[in-house]
Structure 1
Amino acid sequence: MTTASVTPTLAPLTGVSVLVVDDLEQNRKLMHAVLEPRGFVVRSEPSGAAALHALTETDVDVVLLDVLMPEMDGYETCARIKADPRTALLPVVMVTASGTQERLRALEVGADDFITKPFDQAELMARVRSLARVKRLHATVLEQAAALERWNTELESRVEAQVEDLQRLNRLRRFLSPQIAGLILESGDESFLESHRRDITTVFTDLRGFTAFAETAEPEETTSVLREYHAVLGELVFAYEGTLEHFAGDGLMVFFNDPPPCPDAPERAVRMALAMRDRVDELAASWRRRGHDLGFGVGIAQGYATLGRVGFEGRWDYAAIGTVTNVAARLCAAAAARQVLISPRVRAGLDGRFETRSLGPLELRGIARPLEVHEVLGLSDDASTPKEEA
């Protein structure tokens, strides 16, 4: 390599690394003398093989590659650089003679640019700077693409996790209030779905006179009444954080103290029942204007039950099984319109915060012995307002 002229000093492009490949030591020294004062980091190698090895050890921005070298010439070296996926996009400037044929072959093997001998320093600096900027821009694009790919992978993982969470939440919401389902979703603990034994307070409700109403009313009217009724009761079940076991026509079963602990289960159950009674009173007034005479009865009992998931794949429910559910159902059946009947254990858990009266021992269908039954009349004068949860 030779130089024909001396050019003015150009603004340095610091930090750019250049690999000079030339078998002649004086040419390598010349490149060092031209590039290093202008802020380039220069590494030189005496052969194509040495250059390929150097590229496995270090990252450079531009390669200045002489064509005429023994053993492996510049064309083969360039072709190998471009064939390696790690260096395929590394800018290569071929230092060639002035022949058109040599330039054409340099382009055919993948060279990005070429400098003809004897080269002009200004031209050399301009080409190196330009390709170094392209290399760095491309590296930035690759980094951004890799970051985007990582973000997409993370996003896909998050979406999959969110879809799984939504599926779990939808399964849980079929028998749990949104607040409870959300807590279980956050904790990731579904162990409560396995069969277990728990002391619960069970609430049964249904409508007095519904059977006769359903036999005589049009199906559309029956559906309209049930829709209004279920909407009111469902809202209060969720407000009081009860676990909804099932709707069955006009019947509804809710229990407290499972899955989440509820230290005030009897009180909460009774408060919910009274709130339901008040809301159904409003509905009953509108039903009467439409010619339907329907009342509302509630039965509440406390005792141990076996709880857990029942059903089959694709259709699971969360159920409570035990005498306590039967007692609550029988109390509900015995209740007249607007009556809230409770078992002795429920009465004991109220601690005088509610007005009640004893109905004495009652024989309930399917229950072996008479049960002391109490009717809840309402809150006592000094009791606080219902503890509804938003």
Structure 2
Amino acid sequence: MTAAAEELATLPPGGVRVLVVDDLEQNRKLLHAVLEPHGFVVRSEASGAAALDALAECAVDVVLLDVLMPGLDGYETCARIKGDPRTAMLPVVMVTASGSRERLRALEVGADDFVTKPFDQAELMARVRSLARVKRLHDTVVAQTVALERWNAELESRVAEQVADLERLSRLRRFLSPQIAGLIVESGDESFLESHRRDITTVFTDLRGFTAFAETSEPEETMSVLRDYHAALGELVFRYEGTLEHFAGDGLMVFFNDPPPCADAPERAVRMALDMRDRVDELADHWHRQGHDLGFGVGIAQGYATLGRVGFEGRWDYAAIGTVTNVAARLCAAAATRQVLVSPRVRAGLDDGFETRSLGPMELRGISRPLEVHEVIGTIGTIGTIGTRQQEVDP
């Protein structure tokens, strides 16, 4: 039994609401005189119809109902009380003259107990108290049931929201780092998926010699190389909080400054590329021992692009479209093994912590005019050496 139920079970008579229904005024006064001094709250009505009206407008714990009344008698009144879903569980005590026939009929219409005239006052109060406790316990159960249903509905709603958030998070994590995807899901703002224009820094990477390798290697061997390569580069994309546009075989495209703004996009992109180069160097040593000659090249460009969701229902991607992506791809194609080639705007966005050299104007396929291309050789560490990477990932 709950604490609330125990409290109600031991409820003193004070506060127990009793409706007395009798057509004789002296009987109504008698019941008032018996019950009220003991703390019962008594209301009385002179007819069955008036009693039904009273039950429609006020809360009652027990009804003391006389049998013989003009108009609606006690039996019909009791039947209507029990037939109404709002009062079906309301205890009704029939006040009868005597005789088993009256009691039998009272049972048939739903009466809960009987008091025989002339009644014993102690017995009457004991019956009213007992039925009131039962009524209060029933009310408690009903209230708890309603609360449980409300809680279950709220729980179902929360679960549905969490499932939707997980689905949204899974979709966003296809191209965003986990931390950025989590922030977007938490905020509920996916407006960035709509088409918009933004200045971004785009990174293209691929493996030198991969096509020839794939043509001469077993499929399982090719997949093993790609699995290690993707795992190494993907971890760095998320660490630097880049937006992954796509994996396509040995090619990878990442951009910065969308959706999350990134004030140091060129520097962050270059640092990520240099870390990728180091990571692929380690993989290349392993591949070389297996007889595979694979290198790694990177192209990085900065410029405006149109970004947004592309695809169809059930298969959406987040894409960047514009000349900047083409320039990055062409720079990547022009890069030799271990080269990181960047456009002039990317070079201008780097601080003195990087060593670069100009390769002069280059003709890039699909680009109308020659482009001044720069090669990033490495970073300059605190002791002045070239290629020493800083320990902190985020610049």
Q: Structure 1-normalised TM-score? A: 0.93
Which residue identity is paired with 1:119?
Answer: F
The corresponding residue for 1:87 is 87
The corresponding residue for 1:147 is 147
Unaligned runs of 5+ in 2: 1-10, 383-387
RMSD: 1.7
Which residue identity is paired with 1:188?
Answer: G
| 1:174-220 Cα shifts (integer Å, max 9, x gaps) | 22222222222223222222222211100000111111111111101
Matched-pair contact (CA < 8 Å) for 1:240–1:387: no
Which residue identity is paired with 1:105?
Answer: R
Question: 5 Å matches for 1:108-123?
Answer: 108-123=108-123
Alignment of 1:388 onto 2:362: no
Which residue identity is paired with 2:23?
Answer: D
Cα shift at 1:21: 0.8
2-side partners of 1:12 and 1:166: how far apart? 53
The corresponding residue for 1:102 is 102
2-side partners of 1:279 and 1:93: how far apart? 87
1:55 alignment partner, SS class: helix
Cα shift at 1:140: 0.8
1-side partners of 2:39 and 2:16: how far apart? 8
Cα shift at 1:56: 1.2
Alignment of 1:191 onto 2:196: no
1:139 alignment partner, SS class: helix
The corresponding residue for 1:286 is 286
| 1:22-50 Cα shifts (integer Å, max 9, x gaps) | 11112111111211111111111111111
Cα shift at 1:134: 0.8
1:189 alignment partner, SS class: coil
2-side partners of 1:96 and 1:231: how far apart? 87
1:373 alignment partner, SS class: strand
Cα shift at 1:77: 0.5
The corresponding residue for 2:366 is 366
1:263 alignment partner, SS class: coil
Alignment of 1:313 onto 2:310: no
The corresponding residue for 2:375 is 375
2-side partners of 1:254 and 1:387: how far apart? 20
Matched-pair contact (CA < 8 Å) for 1:271–1:386: no
2-side partners of 1:80 and 1:242: how far apart? 72
Unaligned runs of 5+ in 1: 1-10
Cα shift at 1:146: 1.2
The corresponding residue for 2:45 is 45
Which residue identity is paired with 2:393?
Answer: E
The corresponding residue for 2:4 is none
Cα shift at 1:132: 0.3
Larger CA deviation: 281-290 vs 72-81: 281-290
2:252 alignment partner, SS class: strand
The corresponding residue for 2:7 is none
Q: Structure 2-normalised TM-score? A: 0.92
Alignment of 1:355 onto 2:360: no
The corresponding residue for 1:26 is 26
Q: Structure 1 residues 182 and 12, CA, compared in 2 at 3 Å: closer, same or farther?
A: closer
Cα shift at 1:248: 0.4
Which residue identity is paired with 1:261?
Answer: P
Matched-pair contact (CA < 8 Å) for 1:12–1:38: no
| 1:98-132 Cα shifts (integer Å, max 9, x gaps) | 31111111111011111122222222122111110
Matched-pair contact (CA < 8 Å) for 2:20–2:31: yes
2-side partners of 1:137 and 1:290: how far apart? 79
Q: How many residues align?
A: 379
Question: 5 Å matches for 1:251-290?
Answer: 251-290=251-290
Cα shift at 1:387: 4.7
1:76 alignment partner, SS class: helix
1:285 alignment partner, SS class: helix
Which residue identity is paired with 1:309?
Answer: R
Cα shift at 1:12: 4.7
Larger CA deviation: 179-188 vs 32-41: 179-188
| 1:240-295 Cα shifts (integer Å, max 9, x gaps) | 11111110000000001111211100001011111111222222222223222211
1:376 alignment partner, SS class: strand
1:247 alignment partner, SS class: strand
1-side partners of 2:173 and 2:60: how far apart? 59
Matched-pair contact (CA < 8 Å) for 1:243–1:254: yes
1-side partners of 2:254 and 2:373: how far apart? 20
Q: Structure 1 residues 166 and 12, CA, compared in 2 at 3 Å: closer, same or farther?
A: closer
